[in-house]
Structure 1
């Protein structure tokens, strides 16, 4: 489970910012929204708001880049163009099987080399005091390194700058390095990223190909609950579809079906409306199709304790559906899954029945830099933000920043006046 994520000099973010999923239990409200542990209390869901091009998607891209590095996958990201530095720093604190770890790295995007790494285990006692045991760290610029493992300490300086340390050596010879590799890969494997504007139903198709599994039944149940007009939803291995109209659109569809296996797979998704089986690809709305694609990821995240990251959660979804998805995570039935989403849906700004204040985050920027901050930073004493506050009204009035002021009409009128 993710507790903290830090970003520095990554794309829109120049100065360090931190996204925290660690709950402050001085606030006892909505404890069902928190996974409690002696080593850190993790928020189950978090929503990020902000104007376009202020860092919402960039925050998500940073977490995905971090994941890809940990899985030794190809990646490409850029440093902030205004900083004068090519070095990106990404880091996280997270829980793995009840133990708290921290891992960060610096990466030179021009040289394509790692400059620094740090991995440690953090212990928090009953009084909240922190103690860190450093498993390993290295700095390829100053050519310094350290490990509590003497055998590893002797060879860290020989490691390549082209990869992180867990991939530089055969970890089976170094128990602490092997443990680091195991927990880092476990964290990375748990991170699933979805863009609602590009989501595909292929995962749901694979689940529904085994209709008798619990997973498939839960996926179907979610789809039916999200669209009250659907009696059932299924994948049909063999089905004949009747096209009654003869217009060009249906002719093109029939030709495409004959020539595309993947499209044929999608055609076999059948939604049953009032007892009549119909091809979902032709008869269901774009919103329903997104729910179909999303359902399998939600079920998997809740069942397996994944960190599900969704860009533009509200894209194509009715606001009640977005709210219900968040409620699935903010629920006692969820023991270990987390949801991070970006959204423009102000109806979700609800600290009376849906979110804790520390679950709502904002991005904003000025001519100097981009910012990332939480609603929890706005206090009752200073800002008048209380548990009974109308957050939607305050946000709409610009009380939290993170609100565009486009003045589109004035912009067009000014151009028209210049041309007169």
Structure 2
């Protein structure tokens, strides 16, 4: 679970902004809160509203930036791929600040880093409880490390030397936990479980889903024991798509018309010993085809092409490619694996523009469905949206509703509905559209548009 995320000097975020999933004082919809771990709970849903270009998607990109920095790292001598705030010269030479407070494996952690395009300046990991915190490790001034806690867990001189050697051998442009993930540290020490828990959260719990379909992308990873055909049939019928099921056609993975680096990335992910999942759902927008890629053994993956089934008048079925289905149906196909993994628990989904190509009633029902059945599930769904019908306290708690607003200088500010004095029975959609909570577009004077004819 994501407890809190903090970002500074990245894309449209100039000053430090905090997106919090910590429950407020309200007692309504208590099943929207996760099971307490060490006295800390997190909300299971978060919806960020705002005008176009307000920074909603930039928040999601910021969350994903940290994930990619941890999992992918940076090659030696390569610049770190960051994106500073560009509308204020004072921030051109300032570093980016990123921090995640997370709940995973029964513990709460604060993990973060400060970086510029050349090096990691600071990095830290703390375990947090309601009454305080314990430092797991801290990195200062790029090369200075405090490993005292890890030395207490790994007491032999050989273990301490190996940990110190690993830290000192970490490149200036690389995170320490990335270095640990990419080397055999675990085979040479007794206990670095807290670091492994954080790595596992980024690799196996956090999934970021963008709205665009211009790039080939792995959408979700699925467990091998899932009966995909039955699940898809049930969900497609539930969402009234007119589809009567799916079938799979086995194809040669190596001959798939997909970029080699994409195929290698999928194989690397699925065959990794650190991955908990065994299958991936892949969309190829170049030909509008969907595939399920499954791990067969430690060296091999199998690809199957997904086709939809439609009843023929007079009996029988016709098989369709996904390109023959509507944009809305394809978007539903994207979300079905999310639903599967959400109810398995332990997953955090961050989705950009959840409403893309979907009817407002379907978006509302999707959230009702997730939140109505989440009482004993510790998963999270965080989305950006323009869909104002979600703005109701019958569906969401006040602390689950957020707004992104850009000021006159183009910097994004975040605030929650919890900041406003709003009764629990107050319908808030109208007030939002009227601008009470900000986050709506400020339109200009149409009579001053240059395209209009000039009246003499």
TM norm structure 1: 0.81
| 8 Å Cα contact 2:289/2:322 also seen in 1 | no
- CA shift for structure 1 position 51: 1.0
Alignment deviations for residues 345-379 of structure 1 (CA, whole Å, 9 cap, x no partner) = 1011011x210011111100112432011111112
* Range that drifts further, 307-316 or 363-372: 363-372
Structure 1 gaps, min length 5: 125-129, 239-259, 380-384
**Correspondence 1:183 to 2:221:** no
- CA shift for structure 1 position 226: 0.8
Quote the Cα distance in structure 1 between the aligned partners of 2:23 and 2:349.
18
Quote the Cα distance in structure 2 between the aligned partners of 1:222 and 1:356.
26
Quote the Cα distance in structure 1 between the aligned partners of 2:332 and 2:21.
26
Quote the Cα distance in structure 2 between the aligned partners of 1:287 and 1:38.
38
| 8 Å Cα contact 1:32/1:332 also seen in 2 | no
Alignment deviations for residues 94-114 of structure 1 (CA, whole Å, 9 cap, x no partner) = 1112111110100112x2x10
Quote the Cα distance in structure 2 between the aligned partners of 1:395 and 1:319.
17
Quote the Cα distance in structure 1 between the aligned partners of 2:102 and 2:229.
30
**Matching of residues 264-413 of structure 1 within 5 Å:** 269-273=307-311, 276-281=317-322, 283-333=324-374, 335-351=377-393, 353-368=394-409, 369-379=411-421, 385-407=422-444, 409-412=446-449
| 8 Å Cα contact 2:208/2:350 also seen in 1 | yes
Aligned length: 381
Q: Tell me the C-alpha RMSD between the 2 structures.
A: 3.2
- CA shift for structure 1 position 159: 4.0
| 8 Å Cα contact 1:136/1:145 also seen in 2 | yes
- CA shift for structure 1 position 143: 4.4
Please identify which structure carries the higher helix content.
1
**Correspondence 1:122 to 2:128:** yes
- CA shift for structure 1 position 303: 1.9
Secondary structure at 2:171 match in 1: coil
Alignment deviations for residues 182-215 of structure 1 (CA, whole Å, 9 cap, x no partner) = 112211121112223318999799979x8x9434
- CA shift for structure 1 position 41: 1.4
Which residue of structure 2 aligns with residue 98 of structure 1? 106
**Matching of residues 26-37 of structure 1 within 5 Å:** 26-37=25-36
Secondary structure at 2:52 match in 1: coil
| 8 Å Cα contact 1:205/1:269 also seen in 2 | no
| Structure 1 residues 342 and 411: alpha-carbon distance in aligned structure 2, compared to 1, 3 A threshold | farther
Structure 2 gaps, min length 5: 75-79, 152-159, 252-285, 292-303
| Structure 1 residues 372 and 28: alpha-carbon distance in aligned structure 2, compared to 1, 3 A threshold | same
| Structure 1 residues 206 and 217: alpha-carbon distance in aligned structure 2, compared to 1, 3 A threshold | farther
* Range that drifts further, 354-363 or 40-49: 40-49
- CA shift for structure 1 position 415: 5.5
| Structure 1 residues 10 and 29: alpha-carbon distance in aligned structure 2, compared to 1, 3 A threshold | same
Which residue of structure 1 aligns with residue 235 of structure 2? 222
Secondary structure at 1:234 match in 2: strand
TM norm structure 2: 0.75
Which residue of structure 1 aligns with residue 82 of structure 2? 77
- CA shift for structure 1 position 115: 0.2
- CA shift for structure 1 position 312: 0.8
Quote the Cα distance in structure 1 between the aligned partners of 2:288 and 2:443.
42
| 8 Å Cα contact 1:363/1:373 also seen in 2 | yes
Which residue of structure 2 aligns with residue 232 of structure 1? 245
Secondary structure at 1:269 match in 2: strand
Which residue of structure 2 aligns with residue 192 of structure 1? 207
| Structure 1 residues 406 and 283: alpha-carbon distance in aligned structure 2, compared to 1, 3 A threshold | same
Secondary structure at 2:343 match in 1: helix
- CA shift for structure 1 position 332: 3.8
**Matching of residues 198-213 of structure 1 within 5 Å:** 198=213, 213=226
